[in-house]
Structure 1
Amino acid sequence: MKFRILGPLEIDAPEAEGAGSCAPRAAKPRALLAALLVRAGEVVSVDSLIEELWRNDPPRTATTTVQVYVSQVRKLLHAAAPAYGRDALLTR
């Protein structure tokens, strides 16, 4: 699995249904994945993700919403690479 972050965000996943590339369709999950990719190998706090996604105006439910976006990204990664996609994103 390869990621492209310059230009449109894409996951190059030959194992994905229909092969080729894919990416989250909605803007916020796409931004979350991009933020995580830019900081690959690092622990990224929920507060940092909230700041990245909403700047100075997060919704009251921001923490829960980030958890939902992470779940969506995990599902996408699993669909792209069933063997290890879900394990590519860890929660600590």
Structure 2
Amino acid sequence: SQHTVFDLRRDLKNKMRNFPISYYDTHSNGDIMSRATNDMDNISSTLQQNLTQLITSIATFFSILWMMISISIPLTLWVLIIVPVSVVIIGIV
């Protein structure tokens, strides 16, 4: 997420170099930077939260799968067949 935000900031800097001078006559440079910084901070925090949530979800999924296999392999296989079929049916409905 930090790398993505770095790329965004670099792209913004390059884009701001290409703005015509007349644009800066009507818009404050500080206002532009303030808005951009605020937006990039929001993007950064969202990416960090989603990345943490994704890692936690994957770890939880594999932990539950491991526990199910250790309890009963046949029931685990049934669940692994029935759940995707149910998701497809619910998606259609």
Q: Same fold (TM over 0.5)?
A: no
Normalized per residue, the structure richer in helix is 2
Q: TM-score, normalised by structure 1?
A: 0.30
Q: Which has the higher contact order (CA 8 A, sep 6+)?
A: 2
- Which structure: greater strand fraction? 1
TM-score by length of 2: 0.29
